[in-house]
Amino acid sequence: MEKILAEAQLNMNRRHFFGRTASGLGIGALAHLLGQDLSAQENQAVGGLPGLPHFAAKAKRVIYLFQSGGPSHLDLFDYKPGVAKVSGTDLPESVRGGQRLTTMTSMQASFPVVPSLFKFAQHGQSGAWLSELLPNTARVADNLCFIKSLYTDQINHDPAVTFAQTGFQLAGRPSLGSWISYGLGTENKDLPAFVVMISVGSSDQPLYDRLWGAGFLPSRYQGVKLRSVGDPVLYISDPDGFDREQRRRFIDDLDKLNQIGLEKYSDPEIGTRIAQYEMAFRMQTSVPELTDLSKEPASTFELYGEDAKKPGTFAGNCLMARRLAERGVRFIQLYHRGWDHHSNLPALLPVQAKLVDQASAGLIEDLKQRGLLDDTLVIWGGEFGRTVYCQGKLTPTDYGRDHHGRCFTMWMAGAGIKPGMSYGETDDYGYNIAKNPVHIHDVNATILNQLGIDHTRLTYKYQGRNFRLTDVHGEVVKGIVS
Amino acid sequence: MQMARRFEIGLGFSLLLAASLGAQEAIPQTIQFNRDIRPILSENCFTCHGPDKSHRTTVFHFDIEESAKQDLGKGHYAIFPGDLEKSALIQRITAPDERRRMPPAATGKKLSEHQIALLSAWIKQGAPWEKHWSFEPPKRPEVPKVADSARVRNPIDNFIVHRLEQEGLKLSPEADRATLLRRLTLDLTGKGPTTAEMDRFLADKSPDAYEKLADRLMQSPHYGERMALPWLDAARYADTSGYQQDHERFMWRWRDWVIDAFNKNMPFDKFTIEQLAGDLLPNPTLDQKIATAFNRNHRTNAEGGIVAEEFAAEYVVDRVATTSSVFLGVTLGCARCHDHKYDPFTQKEFYQLFAYFNNVPELGHSRRGNSNPHIQAPTPEQQAELKKYDDQIASASARFTKLRPALNASESAWLKSIANAPAMQWAPSRGLVAHYALDGNLGGEPAPNGKPLPESKWEGSGQFSNGLMGQAASFDGKSHIVLGDVGDFDYMNKFTLSAWIFPTAGTGAIVSRFQGEPQGKGYTLQLKDSKVEAIFAFRVPDHALRVETDKPIELNQWHHVMASYSGSPEARNLTVYVDGVPQTVKVIMDILTESVSIKAPLRIGGGGGPENQFHGLIDDVRIYNTELNAEEAGILSVSKSLNELAKVSPGQRSAAESNKVRSAFLDSSSVPAEIRSAFGQVSKLREQRANYDEGISTLMVMEEMPTPRETHVLLRGAYDAPGEVVTPGVPAILPPIPADFPKNRLGFAKWLVDPSNPLTARVAVNRFWQMFFGTGIVKTVDDFGSQGESPSHPELLDWLATEFVRTGWNVKEMQKTILTSATYRQASEATPEMVQKDPENRLLAHGARYRLPAETLRDQALSMAGLLVEKLGGPSVKPYQPEGLWTDLTQQGQYVQEHGENLYRRSLYTFWKRTIPPPSMANFDAPSRESCTVQRGFTNSPLQALDLMNDVSYLEAARVLAERMMKEGGATAEQRIAFAFRLATGRLPSAGESRVLAESLHYSLVKFQTRPNSAIKYLKVGEHPRDQKIDAQELAAYTTIASLIINLDETVTKE
């Protein structure tokens, strides 16, 4: 035990990790907490697996702007002028290819194709085609890489979102962020490695804790939700009438008592617990500092939009994502809902696009100005796209679109992703992939790749099998990485 | 990392021993295939040279001895016993040329020097083979002799001490009695002992005091609650369905069955059979049917647009995976898509097991609430209450029947008196919302004492003409009547729509509240191709209840049409009547899980678009917010007035006419008082019984279809890729099912607990062991296959397994054997030497020490405060939870926190929403219950610290505990501190501990005194009233100390 403690002490000194717990007890603690052997090689990061990253990383962190519900690639990104000429005609059977549809439209008598009502134009030096609904995205288009040939196996929200975020359609697998914090650990000692934010008021399809859950990985790798109502992190606020000095004293006294226990039981777990209370204390300081926007200059809000002043809006969360990125948080997961336009798309989509366009672009510009885009990977996309044929009644001013997993668009930016390009193509209907298909597993393999992880080698043994995020699939999309 | 873990799993003990001797790479004298070799082959070779034939790259494979040692021709052998040169295995794993070396570099696997040495030594020793240990039946081992026999209390200790002695270790001393009491009480009842229990046990000086304690605790009703906890994890029990909107379902009757079964000490074989196949037992009791909910606890999907077949297959897969994990301890799920890579299970065998569970009459698209098949599952109290109602109704009916002659006489007299009066009608008024007579105006008559109805108007040019009862509204297919916001029924409401129609065309809406085509929403009663159609839709094509009558109705004559609905979203609960007769219907769509409520107005003669307007006459429309019954439908279908009926002799009246007369009379003021009262009594009791009956929970259970569904191998596991047809059966590696067993789930269940089954008893005792020691004898409790860890004490495991079967699968007896062993009773203090030698304490040289489960942590805190409500069973409850957690994630359903005693129930009754589990449970490693979990982690995180410090549950418990300290704890601060400390840890604080706490108290008191308002604020936590007589500042200071004690490592840990 003494040896363990001595090592722990050494470790601690090396990392200057525990500012306050001068006693040095419990110290096996942090390393233990972060899943690192005491003897493990020294990483810059704390925690994480030895030997990781597998190779030089382009990205130090990820911001994933998940657009839940299935944004219409046909009305936002994937310009299909040819569809206008055949508007209202039935989608040819040769294009449909008899693949499965959701039962929402599989019983429709006909499948009239419907062009986008929105104007498209080319933008930037790269000449990216974008819909008029995304004027700000258009402004930063030269920084983005559009993957237009993404596809997924799933056609309904729950399995499709679960698939995109965990690599498997059923509950139980670790999420992307938890794999990454398991593999790479954290670079911030006062904040969780994996933070999740959800736009308030964004409606329709539900989300589920499993999307940022740790699955079969130890639960400490699960995402921690940063909330805009109530406590920003659950239970982080001390009770009313109890000040910081009291909390400090409380933890000091608790430490003393637990140290007595540690001497008695020689159980390293007690040391870990002491360290956890220290971390909790530091989180209580760092989280309010994180969420305090009072020092943000006016220019910030010009960039992200006035909405960013309102906690929990998509814009507010984008700004928070940048603040988290600055503080070295490894994986920042945003969710924005409201893209599920089965009907009334022409009226609803512009409103929805406006909610995210400026802040998405603002985030890119802000990261770039601060030099953070070089090592921050930003991802924008949802669980699937939408059908070129109309769901429900087609009128000159109204249409709806059903779920479509056979092709859709996502963009990535920063951290070694080639800027100003489009990758992959769909057919004239935007219904099938014509060139360079990219599967969800490929995206996830690429995300890991940018972080310096070989997706086939980040594994965890569970129920007798080595599992990985990409199951037995996935290829890094070489065409988009520099 | 991979290597490190493999050592840990495969070579745990030899390595441990080696490490302690300072020789990292020691090779055991006698290599044991299962312990030393199989794990290496399994991990590194089986992927290509293992059980999965589709991935084999060579004729030989290492999972079977004959194959591994076969002559490959030209004198080549993969393994040649005794000869390293001739064994290609050794040549290839040591090949200097990377391209020849195994395993191939591309696999990312690499053998260590030590593993190569082990394989070489094994071949030199003749490469002896063993069948994988867990597939061999357990043999009753001889109990080993030990040197230190004084410590032995039962055979468990012989095995443990024998192993320790091999390592030069011995058992630690017995824990002190206070610790033992707390440990055992936590393990058996899920909370700590009370002060009185402590005093009682410490005062009991009899030599068998501890055994008596174990008996007493096992008799506590809370024993069943404690044992249920891991079983609920294993059975993926929850209060919601788990996908997408994750709606509430009602399975708690099964949860209570589990608690009861443990409390009754139901033998484990019976426990198994009833849960897997209770419905198939001869004349199954309600309880036996309830037990089968075990295999309906899996998640079910109600998302719009899903392909039902896909999820129907998932449910069966889940049953197979769960059943095999829980009872067999094997990971059969792997064989869903291909032959198992590591264990001898083929894909076909997976689907043979699948076939047992594939005959449930269920839909892949589930409902809100409980899906089919489900039963009403009254609790014993409810059964008694129903019986009481039935008895009361029987005697009230008898009283009423006796009055029949008098009733007939007075009814005749009344009829005579009205025969020549002006026309009188009568219709049921129960639940009436609105009545539109349509006698030349659109005005509606609201329910008696009901709200005035909104104004109605014609849409299009409407008119009236002669109707069946006075005038009727006339429709030309271009107009309809708009009634406004009336009849806003949703899919969980009962309702009835009634109208007279004289259709001149076969299509058109009669009464509707409906909008949007073709994906319409709302409800409508309409004609379509002369058939009566009732639609209740969230979205017509896929999310609706839709039925249409088999028989068309005749046009150009009057018909009474009615639709009634029970408020439970299934097509079978939507009844269509024509002319008072319930119709047989075709169910067009039977899925409805979303709200159908819309803003569109109620309409007569229209709704659902211009094409869908009525042609002909409509008269006398009635809207009810209750489900009228067949008798009432009959009455409504009688158009004759009471006066006309009075002229018909009683014998000539139809049943419906007689009912109309009788109901009208009983409703009139002419009824003699005695009859009125007797009839009123019967009606009242019937209504009360019906209301009571509605409150009885249902439960999803297993049920067998009369004709089994055909089961296919699903290629790559995909629902839409059926392969060959398979029949039910069990894997060939395990003993065959005895021929006289039924060829269904019941036979399978009996086979599981047949003494010939090598796995079930081992798996069960191993999980008991895990419950009491934190780690199983086989650490991988859900994987007894070749990738799992070998048992730390194989002979002990077999002794326990055979003992379990020998004693008739007696759970309490088995557990008592474990809990009274000297091994269990050891102190949990370790020495640095022990920690270094055996960091995981797998040899058990000291007592186990680990953090309490989430539920126990909360229950213990509530118990210390005296807040815990120890009521058994019932619907799940909603205690404190941070606000808005559900609304963050879903628009549907809010967490409505309850009050009063439901804030303080045992945690296993906390409402469990799978997609958003209670955070204070999830923080402490409770699984989400989305799938079977037989092992929880013991992580240690800052979120746990924040939870224990700031969660209202724990703060309130601290506040109320502080009151107890001040009221019951004694007069001095030291005594009060000792009181709480003892409640938390079972022992008194040491002088050092006491001093820290006393100083802390002093600090807190000064702090609160200098900031007067802060104490009041601080104490405003939780809903339990504060004792206003106690000084706030002092109470606040004690609350801080109580919170400190609740946060103490020793408090959250089982010592």
What is d(CA B928, CA A172) in angstroms, rounded to the nearest whole number?
9
The tokens for A271 are 């040391």
Q: Which of A100, A237, A270 comes nearest B307 by C-beta?
A: A100
Show the tokens assigned to B45.
Answer: 């070779």
Q: Does B305 sit within 8 Å of A257, measured CB to CB?
A: no
Q: How many CB atoms lie within 10 A of CB B894?
A: 12
Chain B: residue whose CA lies nearest to A237: B950
Q: How far is A120 from chain B (nearest CA, A)?
A: 30
Question: Chains A, B: CB contacts under 8 A, how many?
Answer: 285
Q: What does the buried/exposed string (b/e) look like for B817-837 if buried means 16 or more CB atoms within 10 Å of the residue's CB?
A: bbbbbbbbbbbbbbeeebbbb
Q: Which of residues 537-566 of B touch A (CB under 8 A)?
A: 539, 541-543
Nearest-Cα distance to chain B for A125, in Å, is 40
Q: Report pLDDT digits (tens) over B78-104.
A: 888 888 888 888 888 888 888 888 888
Q: Are residues A33 and B1003, on separate chains, in Cβ contact within 8 Å?
A: no
Among B5, B542, B830, the residue with its CB nearest the CB of A107 is B542
Cα separation, B600 vs B516, in Å, equals 10
Residue among A171, A260, A277 minimizing CB distance to B928: A171
> What residues in A contact B1015, CB-CB < 8 Å?
241
Residue B1030 one-letter amino acid: I
User: For residues A406 and A270, what is the distance between their CA atoms, to the nearest angstrom?
Assistant: 52
Token pair recorded at residue B548: 């249409």
B334·A465 Cβ contact <8 A? yes
Q: What's the burial of B579, exposed, middle or buried (CB within 10 Å: 0-12/13-18/19+)?
A: middle
Contact list in A for residue B915 (CB cut-off 8 A) is: 206-210
pTM above 0.90, yes or no: no
Chain A's closest residue to B915, CA to CA, is: A208
Question: For residue B9, what pLDDT band results from cuts at 50, 70 and 90?
Answer: very low
Residue B866 has a CB neighbour count (10 Å cut-off) of 16
Write the DSSP assignment of B687-746 as a string of letters: HHHHHHHHTS-EEE-----SSPPPEEEEGGG-TT-EEEEE-----TTSPPPPTTS-SSHH
E strands present in A115-251? 120-123, 128-131, 144-151, 194-198, 224-225
Inter-residue contact A383 to A70 (CB < 8 Å) = yes
Residue type, B297: N
Q: Which residues pair with A197 in a beta bridge?
A: A334
Partners of residue B991 in chain A, C-beta under 8 Å: none
For residue A342, the chain B residues in CB contact (below 8 A) are: 519
| Window 352-371 of B, Cβ < 8 Å to A | none
Distance CA B395, CA B392 (A): 5
- Give me the residue from B242, B303, B1018 closest to A242, CB to CB: B1018
Q: Kindly indicate the confidence band of residue B134, based on its pLDDT and cuts at 50, 70 and 90.
A: very high
Whether the per-residue pLDDT at B941 is higher than 60: the answer is yes
Query: How far is Cα A420 from Cα A417, in angstroms, rounded to an integer?
Result: 10
User: Considering only CA atoms, which of B1003, B984, B981, B1008 is closest in space to residue B992?
Assistant: B981
Nearest to A230 among B782, B882, B891 (CB): B882
Confidence tier at B142 by pLDDT (50, 70, 90): very high
- Tell me: the pLDDT tens digits for B475-515? 999 999 999 999 999 988 999 999 999 999 999 999 999 98
CB–CB contact B518 A265 (8 Å) = no
Q: Do B244 and A264 make contact, defined as CB atoms within 8 angstroms?
A: no
Can you tell me the distance from the alpha carbon of B86 to that of B80, in angstroms, rounded to the nearest whole number? 6
pLDDT of residue A39: 35
- The proportion of chain B whose per-residue pLDDT surpasses 70, expressed as a percent, equals 97
Q: Is the ipTM of this complex over 0.90?
A: no
Does the structure show a pLDDT above 50 at B8?
Answer: no
pLDDT at res. B518: 66
More confident residue, B868 or B15: B868
- Per this entry, what is the length of chain B? 1055
For residues A430 and A91, what is the distance between their CA atoms, to the nearest angstrom? Answer: 11
**Optimal mutation site among B132, B851, B941, B1016, interface A, most CBs of chain A within 10 A:** B941
A26: Cβ–Cβ under 8 A, 6 or more apart, which residues?
A255, A258, A259, A262, A270, A271, A272, A273, A274, A275
The answer to whether A243 contacts B1014, with C-beta atoms less than 8 Å apart, is yes
Distance linking the first and last C-alpha atoms of chain A: 49
- Max Cα-Cα span within chain B: 118
pLDDT digits (tens, 9 = 90+) for B261-320: 999 999 999 999 999 999 999 999 999 999 999 999 999 998 888 888 999 999 999 999
Question: Which residues of chain A have a CB within 8 Å of the CB of B1053?
Answer: 269
Closest residue by Cα to residue B483 from B516, B518, B446, B449: B446
Residue A203 confidence (pLDDT): 66
Q: Which of A99, A208, A389 to mutate to test the interface with B (most CBs of B within 10 A)?
A: A208
- Residue B1049 has its nearest CB partner, among A1, A103, A258, at A258
Task: Report the distance separating Cα B796 and Cα B532, nearest Å.
Answer: 70
Give the angle B128-B131-B132 at the CA atoms, nearest 5°: 115
In 3D space, the residue among B1042, B1040, B1038 whose CA is nearest the CA of residue B966 turns out to be: B1038
pLDDT band at B64 (very low <50, low <70, confident <90, very high): confident
pLDDT category at B351 given cuts 50, 70, 90 is: very high
- What pLDDT score was predicted for residue A175? 97
* Cα–Cα distance, B180 to B201 (Å, whole number): 10
| Residue B721 near chain A (CB below 8 Å) | no
Whole-Å CA distances, B574 to A462, B110, B422, B687, B990: 48, 65, 37, 21, 70
Question: A119-129 in b/e burial notation, b at 16+ Cβ within 10 A?
Answer: ebeebbebebb
CA-CA distance, B788 to B1006, in Å (whole number)?
57
How many whole angstroms separate alpha carbon B711 and alpha carbon B471? 61
Are A208 and B1018 a contacting pair at CB < 8 A?
A: no
Q: What is the pLDDT of residue B727?
A: 95
Cβ-based burial of A108 (10 A; exposed 0-12, middle 13-18, buried ≥19): middle
Q: How confident is the model at residue B113 (pLDDT cuts 50, 70, 90)?
A: confident
Contacts of A229 in chain B (CB under 8 A): 883-884, 888
Chain A residues within an 8 Å CB radius of B543:
104
Cα–Cα distance between A34 and B920 in angstroms, integer? Answer: 21
pLDDT at A40: 34
Closest CA to B990 of B998, A1, A271, B948: B998
**Interchain proximity A283–B939, CB inside 8 Å:** no
Across the interface, whether the CB atoms of A253 and B849 are under 8 A apart is answered: no
B517/A104 touch (CB, cutoff 8 Å), yes or no: no
Say if the Cβ atoms of B1040 and A242 lie within 8 Å: yes
Q: Measured between alpha carbons, how far is B151 from B157 in angstroms, rounded to an integer?
A: 8
Q: What is the pLDDT of residue B650?
A: 87
Which helix (H) or strand (E) segment holds residue B513: the answer is strand B508-515
Where would I find the H helices in B285-379? 286-291, 308-323, 347-356
Chain B partners within 8 Å of A253 (Cβ): 996-997, 999-1000, 1044
Closest to A2 (Cβ–Cβ): which among B343, B832, B1020? B832
β-pair partners for B42: none
The verdict on whether omega for the bond into residue B706 sits within 30 degrees of 0, i.e. cis, is: no
Using alpha carbons, select from B365, B234, B250, B385 the residue that is nearest to residue B307: B365
What's chain B's average pLDDT? 92
Contacts of B299 in chain A (CB under 8 A): 171
Judged by phi (left if over 0) then psi (alpha if -120 to 50, else beta), residue B724 lies in: beta
pLDDT band at B26 (very low <50, low <70, confident <90, very high): confident
Q: Provide the pLDDT for residue A118.
A: 97
- The closest CB to that of B942, out of A246, A265, A280, belongs to A280
Close Cβ partners of B559 (under 8 Å, ≥ 6 residues apart) = B500, B501, B502, B503, B553, B578, B579
| Cα–Cα dist B268/B262, whole Å | 9
pLDDT of A202 reads: 65
pLDDT for the residue A364: 98
B655-691 as b/e: b if 16+ CB within 10 A: ebbbbbbbbbbbeeeebeeebeebbebbeebeeebee
Is the Cα dihedral B739, B742, B744, B749 positive or negative? negative
Please list the ranges in chain A whose pLDDT falls under 70.
1-45, 202-203
Contact B341 A465 (CB under 8 A): yes
CA distance B593 to B492: 10
Helix, strand or coil for residue A232? coil
Report pLDDT for A7.
Answer: 43
Looking at residue A463, its pLDDT comes to 81
Residue B390 neighbours by CB distance under 10 Å: 12
Percent of chain B scoring above 90 in pLDDT = 75
User: pLDDT by residue (tens digit) across B420-463?
Assistant: 888 889 999 999 999 999 999 999 999 888 889 999 999 988 89
Q: Which of residues 75-134 of B touch A (CB under 8 A)?
A: 108
Q: How many CB atoms lie within 10 A of CB B577?
A: 24
One-character DSSP codes across A299-366: HHHHHH-GGGGSTTSHHHHHHHHHHHHHTT-SEEEEEE-----SS-HHHHHHHHHHHHHHHHHHHHHH
Residues in chain A: 482
Chain B: nearest CA to A366, how far in angstroms?
A: 27
Helix (H, G, I), strand (E, B) or coil at B205: coil
* B221-249 average pLDDT score: 96
Cα torsion A218, A220, A222, A223 to 10°: value is: -170
B597-615: buried (b, 16+ CB within 10 Å) or exposed (e) per residue? bbebbbbbbbbbeeebbbb
Set of chain A residues whose Cβ sits within 8 Å of the Cβ of B949: 235, 238, 247, 250, 280
